[in-house]
Structure 1
Amino acid sequence: MSATVISGLGIAAPNGLGTEDYWAATLAGESGLGKVTRFDVDQYPSTVAGEVPGFTAEDHIPSRLMPQTDHMTRLALVAADWAITDSGVNPEQVAEYGFGVVTSASGGAVEFGQRELQNLWSQGKEYVSAYQSFAWFYAVNTGQISIRHKMRGPSGVLLTEQAGGIDTIGQARRHIRKGVPLVVSGGVDAALCPWGWVPQLSTGLMSTESDPARAFLPFGADARGYVTGEGGAILIVEEASHARERGAEHIYGEVAGYGATMDPRPGSGRPPGLRRAAEIALAEAGITPGDVDVVFADASGVPELDRQEAEVLTGIFGPRGVPVTAPKTMTGRLLAGGAALDVATALLALRDRVIPPTTNVPGPAPEYALDLVTGAPREADLRTALVLARGHGGFNAALVVRRAN
């Protein structure tokens, strides 16, 4: 069976716009969390989020696309452009049906949808954009990326919230095993508006701490919930021999194993499904826990969920048995963009042989028994990384990636 590799990355994150800017900020421990500025947040109990800095859509997006796209889709289009450029592939030179697109989503382009519904309520139907028919839709990123680059291969969208970025890579690999040479995958999300904020508040899981340095502390003794953010990553998933034959400029890593599960219904007495997802991914990669050099944790920041994940990690690897990191403390949880960004970060870590830190957390709570990388990056001869993700509603996903050389 042919190998599947990652040949291109495009990142838009709260602590860096562009892959290398993001990576430099992450290694420096620079956080992108702060008080929300995209709307008036003072009336809500949660006020901190990660916003993508310095993004001027008009500098990147053709004027004809501006009226029909949301902030989320504009970020996704730019990240996809960067990923394609980074891969060195020319979409026009790929077979007509040889380039697919699979992205993750949570609630769609909610900022666009909210604005047009406000126009409807306050001014009437004549003031609602005709683009409302599709611009809010959860599949819009896949659609706009495929149209922009004339990608006519298999496409789709996966709605598994924070787990979605990993699930898209798993789906992309399925397409590649069926003969499609390249697939755009990953996810970018943006829901920093009241319509996107209130549903998250309703879960009771968001942090209400107003100090950005203390709002999101996964695995810490003072953890009090999660902080959301916008952005994510787009990755070019490619069949390995196709990448070699076209002379790909670089290969970030190989997709070695993937697993996905659902949690049982509440009250069933059965354990959550995260451990089983991780074990499936390890088995598919043909490795043992001792072969894993670092884990990029889901890192909820919700104490009970942190405890569950810590039990998974100690159950598989033993107490403090593997370095664990959660660089999402610098970005927040990016909904459908979060796992894709974690995978991209893991690939950069493998490339440069360094584990980025979990910022703001002085150390894990003792009962978790984790080797949590905090304070500063940790150099290590990294060859294999495990990335974990959980989506609201019971979704679990795990991905094993190997260094390219």
Structure 2
Amino acid sequence: MTGTTLHAPAGSLAPPARAVVTGIGVTAPNGLGTETWWSAVRRGKSGIGPISRFDADRYPALLAGEVPGFVAEDHLPSRLLPQTDRMTRLALAAADEAFADAGVAPERLPEYAAGVVTASSSGGFEFGQRELQALWSKGGRYVSAYQSFAWFYAVNSGQISIRHGLRGPSAVLVSEQAGGLDALAQARRELRRGTRLMVTGGIDSALCPWGWTAQIAGGSLSASDDPALAYRPFSAEASGHVAGEGGALLILEEESSARERGARVYGSVAGYAATFDPPPGTGGSRLRAAAELALADAGLEPGAVDVVFADAAGSVEADRAEAAAITELFGPYGVPVTAPKTMTGRLYSGGASLDVAAALLALRDQVVPPTVNVGRLADDCLLDLVTEAGRELPLATALVLARGRGGFNAATVIRRYL
């Protein structure tokens, strides 16, 4: 095979390339590595606990989802350590796992056959904080030259492409919690333009005093110090969310290319859409419109959806808006809904891509993973929320929803590969 773009004959309409997922790499608060994380999810094991990466006692929010057992030296060559933030180190480890899982050796691909599109919402906060401290306490000559890019939103895409020699299309999407779905959609577009393989998804980490202060300023973090009570989306007792780090990276391939090399396929990205909410006070949420447009893109009716992976903001107003969107589309209690991010916290740009990974594995194993710690649902959240224990069901189609601060909405349809 080559990386040459194939064009349809003049006057014909070739169907768009079908995008399939052939590899998954995960770094999550309840598991480092895909199968470790997925086993924890299925058991309802949470990775949320007191912050350990810095002293948080002086802050109003004390809990986070931290990736356990990650030692950068075990995953990366020493030359990369001085130039990378923690989020980039996590991303490079996830990319390595995704390539290995897909059975792809990037160095054997044609030169321009593969690219990378990631999402980011914060950049390298921890690296930036350290260098700012050096600047103000010691002076400019003590600031690392790597500060010029290690903090930047696009750094994960850049470092992954350099490490694996990916000279195809490269980009970064910045739409906060919706970013993981937006990046996946951009990667799908690149496949339709003729690229053979894309690395895509999101990994975030901002668990340092500077990053923590920024997140607290957003006003949505829970002040609870009890991991079982802090993040309870759709609950009558919802009081905000818990922040976390990590996410997932996926190997996305054009179907014929994947089949030609005999790849194992998790599922296909069948539909996607994004909408933007109007200014406050001028209209309601357009999350439902994003879901409807994604289903239309997939050529499906709502009745074809077997499970919804919810955005699950954890705030009363946002939860009610999402519950209303789901209920209007599927009817009251009309479809199983889950939010496994209650075990990780909200991972910003990494959260939606981790939900896509969960959807793919749910379709593989024919089980809806649980939503933990919610307790009693609010009376106006008419959802069939799968809680405490997973639910075995025949699953063919999943709808993943995501929202980003500032009005971003995104929806992606994932289908089992048959």
Larger deviation, residues 342-351 vs 355-364: 355-364
Counting matched residue pairs gives 403
Structure 1 residue 362 displacement after superposition: 2.4
Structure 1 residue 203 displacement after superposition: 1.9
Task: Select 2:148's aligned residue among 133, 150, 154.
Answer: 133
| Counterpart position of 2:4 | none
Aligned partner letter, 1:281: A
Structure 2: distance between partners of 1:364 and 1:257: 30
Structure 1 residue 230 displacement after superposition: 0.2
Structure 2: distance between partners of 1:11 and 1:401: 18
Q: Residues 40-98 of structure 1, C-alpha deviation per residue, up to 9 Å, x if partnerless? A: 11111011110000001101110000000011100000000000110111212222111
User: Contact 1:176/1:238 (CA < 8 Å) preserved in 2?
Assistant: yes
Structure 1: distance between partners of 2:108 and 2:54: 43
Is 1:340 paired with 2:345?
no
| Counterpart position of 2:280 | 266
Structure 2: distance between partners of 1:116 and 1:202: 22
Which ranges of 4 or more aligned residues in structure 1 deviate by more than 6 Å?
none
| Counterpart position of 2:174 | 159
| Counterpart position of 2:374 | 361
Structure 1: distance between partners of 2:289 and 2:109: 37
Is 1:350 paired with 2:363?
yes
User: Contact 1:362/1:375 (CA < 8 Å) preserved in 2?
Assistant: no
| Counterpart position of 2:337 | 324
Q: Residues 312-339 of structure 1, C-alpha deviation per residue, up to 9 Å, x if partnerless? A: 0000000000000000000000011000
Q: Residues 7-32 of structure 1, C-alpha deviation per residue, up to 9 Å, x if partnerless? A: 10000000000000000000011000
Describe the SS at the equivalent of 2:415: strand
Structure 1 residue 148 displacement after superposition: 0.1
Describe the SS at the equivalent of 1:366: coil
Aligned ranges for residues 76-155 of structure 1 at < 5 Å?
Answer: 76-155=91-170
| Counterpart position of 1:377 | 390
User: Contact 1:363/1:374 (CA < 8 Å) preserved in 2?
Assistant: no
Structure 1 residue 246 displacement after superposition: 1.2
| Counterpart position of 1:253 | 267
Aligned partner letter, 2:278: P
Q: Residues 365-391 of structure 1, C-alpha deviation per residue, up to 9 Å, x if partnerless? A: 222110000010100000000000001
% same residue: 65
Structure 2: distance between partners of 1:162 and 1:98: 29
Is 1:302 paired with 2:315?
yes
Is 1:24 paired with 2:48?
no
| Counterpart position of 2:410 | 397
User: Contact 1:9/1:87 (CA < 8 Å) preserved in 2?
Assistant: yes
Structure 1 residue 198 displacement after superposition: 1.3
| Counterpart position of 1:289 | 302
| Counterpart position of 1:199 | 214
| Counterpart position of 1:278 | 291
Structure 1 residue 267 displacement after superposition: 2.0
Any stretches of 5+ residues in structure 1 without a counterpart?
none
Structure 1 residue 290 displacement after superposition: 0.6
Structure 1: distance between partners of 2:60 and 2:308: 32
Structure 1 residue 222 displacement after superposition: 0.6
Structure 1: distance between partners of 2:346 and 2:326: 20
User: Contact 1:363/1:372 (CA < 8 Å) preserved in 2?
Assistant: no
Structure 1 residue 393 displacement after superposition: 1.1
Structure 1 residue 363 displacement after superposition: 4.0
Structure 2: distance between partners of 1:58 and 1:179: 36
- C-alpha RMSD of the superposition: 0.7
Larger deviation, residues 273-282 vs 195-204: 195-204
Any stretches of 5+ residues in structure 2 without a counterpart?
1-14
Describe the SS at the equivalent of 2:289: helix
TM-score, normalised with respect to structure 1: 0.99
Q: Residues 228-272 of structure 1, C-alpha deviation per residue, up to 9 Å, x if partnerless? A: 000000001110000001111x1010100001011111121x221
Structure 2: distance between partners of 1:160 and 1:193: 21
Describe the SS at the equivalent of 2:380: helix
Describe the SS at the equivalent of 1:368: coil
TM-score, normalised with respect to structure 2: 0.96
